[in-house]
Chain A
Amino acid sequence: MQVYLPIAEMSVPAESIFLVSAFVGLLSGIFGIGGGFLATPFLIFTGVPPVIAVGTQASQLVASSIAGVLGHWEKGNVDVKIGCVMLAGGMVGSVVGILIFGILEKLGQIDFAISILYIILLGFIGVLMLAESFTHLVKPKNMRKEFNTLNMNSFIAGLPYKMRFPRSKLYISALVPGGIGFIGGVLASILGVGGSFIMVPAMIYILGIPSLLVAGTVLFQMIFTTAFATIMHALVNQTVDVVLAVILIIGGVAGAQLGITFARHVKGIYARVTLALIVLAVCLQMIGNLCIQPHEIFSTVALS
């Protein structure tokens, strides 16, 4: 069924968009990720202009992070204080991201920038996750040590504005969670991703937050960062398509509920290896798209 998008001013196949958002929602339910890094490229692939894909995806992330966070919230697995520091950074990051997006678009290099950012981030995170997962598979008992604050990098330990985060039993500079949130905000507005695929590892390895609290806290702060990014996109670029958003939200929410149920029956370590492989597959796909000579080397865009 074709559905006409009033803001994008084009019609799209509703079923395929629904299916992909349900699949992305499933991943989001299992891993506590937004899944935007899969949804956004797919939307662009179906012909939705990148600006619309990015802007609209932000609103879908609001729904998926709320649906995801409620379960963690009721179990008390959210560090609200760290979350608030992160979202303060996230809002600053959103503004910076939207400015960068505008400049790159004017230069005609937004697609290239998106590809390169995806390749660097996904490649880095994928390899890191895979390596870490295998270390756990080989000697699972070393796990506790890694989260010990005593192992913390001396540079991070030396940063000013230290704060106590009782829920996570951390005493660390506010710049660390704020900085992680900032990067998340930039990614949310440039790439239309929640940024959890970089924030989750960063929170584990740099911040040292207990792994139980990671998913809940990321989702908690993501609600506000993505809501802010949605409003910014609607206000500055007018690129949030509500019809597209409804399809994405319904699909995403349905998939996420399935994923949360599914996650109970999956061993965490295997889930993480799977996610690492998915991340690397998307990365390879992006490298392929960038480096294989395109069928048509010319593209057009309307300036006015």
Chain B
Amino acid sequence: MRKLFLIVILLFAGAQAARAENVTVELVSDHVDITTGFNGTTLGLFGVRANRGDIAVIVRGPLRTMSVRRKESVMGAWINRSFETFKAVPSYYNYALSRPLEELTTAEKLAEHGIGPENLRFNKPDTTDKRRIEFREALLRNKRMQGLYPAEPGAIKFIGPNFFRADFYIPANVPVGEYEIQTLYFSNGILRDSKTNTVRVAQVGGSARINDFAHNNSLVYGLMCVLLAVFAGWFSNRVRRG
């Protein structure tokens, strides 16, 4: 009985080890530094797969609660009238696939892992509520227009038969915070392995110091802004007179 138990444990551990080797991932950089000249950047990762399975890489920015507002015409003026709230919305989302979405796995799996913006689950599973669906589509559309969600998936580029890389564009208006990069390894539509890496997107240098100072010493910061303005006004007047 005891032997049998050990064998089960070993088998399980062995299976685990084999699974863990299905895909290995290394990020080009584990941080994105936002400086004063920041104008967007590329987030890159390299990976190796053990077999010829399919790869899906998903990048998610920090989760936010979003309010979606719809304007309606009230006496000729377009005013925000209807509101819907969505929870756990990734502030940034991007993904890359080694094979088309429909061929990757089942619809249930796509929804479970949130592969593709249409398959993201927010606070509750998709209801058949027409209004809810309409607002959800509007949310995705707005995110796409802001460049924070992709129109279509990026491609996984294979450098060797099993050696691949994926790149994601991070626009200048990107929200700061911890970004989660999930690499999923499928074979025959079944998830075999997954790796999660995090990237820290943060302001650095002068930019970060200004932000910290403005939040921690608001009064002094406000007074300094005023002093700066006073000096600028006075200085320009002096210059004009020579």
Give B220's nearest chain A residue, CB to CB: A234
B151 at the interface (CB under 8 A from A): no
Q: Tell whether, in the assembled complex, residue A70 and residue B67 are in contact, meaning their CB atoms are under 8 Å apart.
A: no
Which residues of B sit under 8 angstroms from A230, Cβ to Cβ? 222, 225-226, 229
Give Cα A246 to B222, complex, Å.
14
A6 at the interface (CB under 8 A from B): yes
Given A67-B236, A293-B78, A303-B65, A2 and B211 contact (CB-CB distance below 8 Å): no
A298 at the interface (CB under 8 A from B): yes
Given A6-B208, A108-B69, A300-B143, A235 and B219 contact (CB-CB distance below 8 Å): yes
Stretch at the interface among B3-11, B113-121, B171-179, B184-192: B171-179
Looking at the complex, which one of A6, A246, A292 makes contact with B228 (CB distance below 8 Å)?
A246
Stretch at the interface among B30-38, B96-104, B122-130, B159-167: B30-38
Stretch at the interface among A144-152, A173-181, A208-216, A251-259: A251-259
Q: Mark B73-104, 1 if CB is under 8 A from A, else 0.
A: 10011111001010000010000000000000
Interface residues on A, range: 35 or more
Give Cα A4 to B225, complex, Å.
18
Looking at the complex, which one of A66, A260, A301 makes contact with B229 (CB distance below 8 Å)?
A66
Which residues of A sit under 8 angstroms from B85, Cβ to Cβ? 303
Q: Tell whether, in the assembled complex, residue A10 and residue B218 are in contact, meaning their CB atoms are under 8 Å apart.
A: no
Q: Tell whether, in the assembled complex, residue A109 and residue B79 are in contact, meaning their CB atoms are under 8 Å apart.
A: yes
Q: Tell whether, in the assembled complex, residue A298 and residue B176 are in contact, meaning their CB atoms are under 8 Å apart.
A: no
Looking at the complex, which one of A59, A66, A300 makes contact with B69 (CB distance below 8 Å)?
A300
Shortest distance from the beta carbon of A44 to any chain B beta carbon, whole Å: 15
Give B72's nearest chain A residue, CB to CB: A297
Q: Tell me the residues in window 276-299 of chain A with beta carbons closer than 8 Å to chain B beta carbons.
A: 290-294, 296-299
A134 at the interface (CB under 8 A from B): no
Interface size on B, residues (CB 8 A): 62
Shortest distance from the beta carbon of A148 to any chain B beta carbon, whole Å: 35
Give B91's nearest chain A residue, CB to CB: A302
Q: Tell me the residues in window 198-212 of chain B with beta carbons closer than 8 Å to chain A beta carbons.
A: 203, 206-208, 210-211
**Most B CB within 10 A of own CB, among A71, A109, A298:** A298
Chain A residues packing against B (C-beta within 8 Å): 2-4, 6-7, 9-11, 47, 59-60, 62-67, 70-71, 108-109, 111-112, 115-116, 223, 227, 230-235, 238, 240, 242-243, 245-246, 249-250, 253-254, 256-257, 260, 290-294, 296-304
Chain B residues packing against A (C-beta within 8 Å): 34-40, 64-73, 76-80, 83, 85, 91, 135, 138-139, 141-143, 145, 172-173, 175-176, 203, 206-208, 210-211, 214-215, 218-219, 221-226, 228-230, 232-234, 236-237, 239-240
Instruction: List 8 tightest A-B contacts by C-beta distance, closest first.
Output: A66-B233, A234-B222, A298-B138, A11-B172, A62-B229, A231-B222, A63-B229, A253-B236
**What are 23 pairs between A and B in contact, CB < 8 Å?**
A2-B39, A4-B172, A6-B36, A11-B38, A11-B40, A62-B230, A70-B237, A108-B69, A111-B80, A227-B230, A234-B219, A235-B219, A238-B215, A243-B36, A249-B228, A257-B239, A293-B78, A296-B141, A297-B70, A299-B71, A299-B142, A300-B69, A302-B66
